Amino acid sequence: MSTRPTRNRQFRLASRPEGKVQRSNFDAVDGDVPSPGAGQLLVRTKYLSLDPTNRVWMQDIEQYLPPVQIGEVMRGVGLGEVIESQHPDFKAGDLVIGMVGWQEVAVLDGGGPNKPTRLPPGLPFPEPAFLGALGVTGITAYFGLLELGKPKAGETVVVSAAAGAVGSVAGQIAKLQGCRVVGIAGSADKCAWLTGELGFDAAICYRDADWKEQLRAACPEGIDVDFENVGGDIMSTVLAGMNLHGRVVLCGLISGYNTGKRMLGPFDTVLMKRLTVSGFIILDYAPRFMEAVMQLGQWMMQGKLRHADTIVDGLDAAPEALNMLFDGGNRGKLLVRVAVSQ
């Protein structure tokens, strides 16, 4: 069990980024370690999840949560250990997932809508998996693909950002449904990993000059489901190859997050092909998260689902590391291992 840290390093939003995130967009502040009040917990962050949505939260634009305000601790999901508890449902030593923020220790409410999730002890999975294949990104892939994509055996599913946290799980789940699965990713190495280790039927590197022809050749029966993570030219190209009445799972539009440009695909194609386009935010499925985690965990235990991660060391690395999501530096789930000063 951890001893109580003597300092709390926090990253507070100092300015809104333009383009890539810069270290100067944050103030690093070393403060005192707070004490939890009644009903609260003191949590030491072990792993911080870096997500494309962090970049969106930094913008003062309309979105699904309020933007992070200048001067606030940067919002972020993490896995941490309870150091002190003033709530009957938690005790010191428990591992929890919650909105810890970009800081070494956090005070969280033990109840209410944002209460952290306590991990049952003794689960046979590495801790980072609870922020990846068994965490929000895995759950996003699960509900997005199965509830909105509705894939049937024999259909063709295309996944963009396929070697990332959500995409790698979505593609593996589509394989488990008996689909032909084609991934789109940014390097030959990632494509080799998708086909060689994750069982994708084909993977296309969108940096190849002839990637659109490669995609067409990889989908000889047309595309039934687009699990869309990227938007822009990639989305337009996939939509052009879709079959009538295909389903588009609009999970993310990462190609526009740094520029603020709208990266939606062509709506004339949606009309002509009578496509169903379903936007979703995983928070809407919060009451059903456990259902997804149980199934994902079972697949992992059976060796049918693989978790992959890219781990960066130290909270100080978080601002620069966030850019890995935009230049393709990560494979699987991107995390920061947070070392706490004593």
Ligand X SMILES: NC(=O)c1ccc[n+]([C@@H]2O[C@H](COP(=O)([O-])OP(=O)(O)OC[C@H]3O[C@@H](n4cnc5c(N)ncnc54)[C@H](OP(=O)(O)O)[C@@H]3O)[C@@H](O)[C@H]2O)c1
**Is the distance from CB of 103 to CB of 11 less than 8 angstroms?**
yes
**Site for ligand X contains 265 (CB under 6 A):** no
The binding track of 113-152 with respect to ligand X, each residue x by CB under 6 A or -, is ------------------------x--x------------
Residue 45's SS3 state is: strand
Kindly state whether residue 325 participates in binding ligand X, applying the rule CB under 6 A.
yes
Tokens 């706490």: give the residue: 340
DSSP 3-state percent helix, strand, coil across the chain (nearest 5): 30, 25, 45
Residues 6+ apart with CB under 8 A from 74: 11, 12, 13, 26, 54, 57, 58, 68, 101, 102, 318
Judged by beta carbon, residue 80 or residue 132, the one nearer ligand X is 132
Bridge-partner residues for 248, per DSSP?
226, 277
Taking the complex as a whole, the smallest distance from the CB of residue 88 to ligand X amounts, in Å, to 32
Residue 57 CB, nearest distance to ligand X (Å)?
11
Q: How far is the CB of 300 from ligand X (least distance, A)?
A: 17
The residue within the footprint of ligand X, chosen from 82, 107, 108, 163 (CB under 6 A), is: 163
How far is residue 279 from each of residues 228, 229, 233, 264, 307, measured CA to CA in Å?
Answer: 10, 11, 18, 11, 25
Part in contact with ligand X (CB under 6 A); list of ranges 27-35, 94-102, 180-188, 287-295 = 180-188
Both tokens of 309, joined, read 């991660």
Size of the site for ligand X (CB under 6 A): 30
The residue among 67 and 328 lying less far from ligand X, judged by its C-beta, is 328
Q: Name which position in 185, 198, 202, 296 contacts ligand X (CB under 6 A).
A: 185
Q: What is the spatial distance between Cα 249 and Cα 229, in angstroms, rounded to a whole number?
A: 9
Helix (H) or strand (E) holding 224: strand 223-228
Pick from 166, 203, 321, 322 the residue near ligand X by CB under 6 A.
Answer: 166
Residues in 38-67 that interact with ligand X by CB under 6 A: 51-53
- Contact segment (CB under 6 A) with ligand X among 3-11, 74-82, 213-221, 328-336 equals 328-336
Task: Tell me the H-state helices in the chain.
Answer: 52-57, 136-143, 165-176, 188-196, 211-218, 232-240, 267-272, 289-301, 318-322, 324-327
229 binds ligand X (CB under 6 A): yes
- Nearest to ligand X of 219, 251 (CB atom): 251
CA dist., res. 108 & res. 250, Å (int): 32
Smallest gap from residue 327 Cβ to ligand X (A): 7
Q: Supply the minimum distance, in Å, between the C-beta of residue 76 and ligand X.
A: 12
Residues 189 to 228: which contact ligand X by CB under 6 A? 190
State which of residues 147, 316, 328, 339 lies at the interface with ligand X (CB under 6 A).
328
Whole-number Å distance between alpha carbons of 85 and 165 = 32
Tokens read off for 226: 């687009």
Residues that bind ligand X (CB under 6 A): 51-53, 137, 140, 161, 163-167, 185-187, 190, 229-230, 234, 251-252, 254-255, 280-282, 325-326, 328, 330, 334
